[in-house]
Amino acid sequence: MDFCSVLPEELVLSYILPYLSIVDLAECKLVSTRWLEMVRRYYKSLKELDLTPWDFMVTEDYLVNIIMHGQLLRIIRLSKCWRASTATAVFLVANTCSRLQVLHISHCGSLTDQAVEDVARKCKELKEVDMSSCYKITDAAMCSLADHAKNLEELYVSSVYGVTDFGVSQLSFKGLSLKTLDVSYCFRVSDKGLVGILKRPQETNLLKSLRIKGCAKITDPFIQQLWQAGVEVNNMF
């Protein structure tokens, strides 16, 4: 008798599958119908998915196969998983993972404004988004987050050259209470885009950390005003 076929299912789910790589999990699905169902059940139990260690290996099909069972996922990390982070995959994330709170999808050139809007509209508990170095992203994505992601606390858009003063200004104008904002190397962002932070009432201005390295249009006098308002400004690294 095959030893694998008699292992208790709960043992497999709790003490075997969580320690396997994505390659091993894919192979487990091929062992038998029983193992295929156990892997699927394992996917359904996941609250956090981090595929960044296998960024160069993860494909759209592999990611979709996990996400379609990931109704409980709250944290998804896909930074540099550019082969997997397609419009189809992100659309599925938006429509399946309604309880999503953290999405890291930086360095994924296929990420679009529409994909960000899908996530912002459907994932009402979203608190943290990192889409740094996603070159297709523009102010449209910023507006979508400002309009729909009302619980957003941390936003990272470093080196997203399509982000301008208008997109950044919407974060304050639409009432978003961010605690951390990274616009490093967004060279089209200036004092004008961030002035809304200073105009908000003290009790509603929750921003504590602002990263602006490489933003040459943000002036020293304005940085001084931010410091005086209690915002920690990082323009060095």
pLDDT tens figures, 23-38:
888 888 888 888 889 9
User: What was the pLDDT predicted at 1?
Assistant: 41
Q: How far apart are CA 116 and CA 129, in angstroms?
A: 10
Domain locations along the chain: 1-45, 46-234
User: What was the pLDDT predicted at 222?
Assistant: 95
Cα angle for residues 92, 25, 125 (degrees, 5° grid): 35
pLDDT at 203 over 60: no
Of the listed ranges 9-13, 45-49, 53-57, 203-207, the least confidently predicted one is 203-207
User: What was the pLDDT predicted at 176?
Assistant: 79
Query: What is the CATH code of the structural domain delimited by 46-234?
Result: 3.80.10.10
Q: What is the arithmetic mean of pLDDT over 106-123?
A: 96
User: What was the pLDDT predicted at 34?
Assistant: 87
Q: What is the arithmetic mean of pLDDT over 171-196?
A: 92
Average pLDDT over the chain, rounded to whole? Answer: 91
| pLDDT tens string 35-52 | 889 999 999 999 999 999
User: What was the pLDDT predicted at 202?
Assistant: 60
pLDDT at 236 over 90: no
User: What was the pLDDT predicted at 23?
Assistant: 82
User: What was the pLDDT predicted at 175?
Assistant: 77
Give yes or no for a contact between 187 and 165, defined as CB atoms under 8 angstroms apart: no
pLDDT at 3 over 60: no
pLDDT greater at residue 182 or residue 237? 182
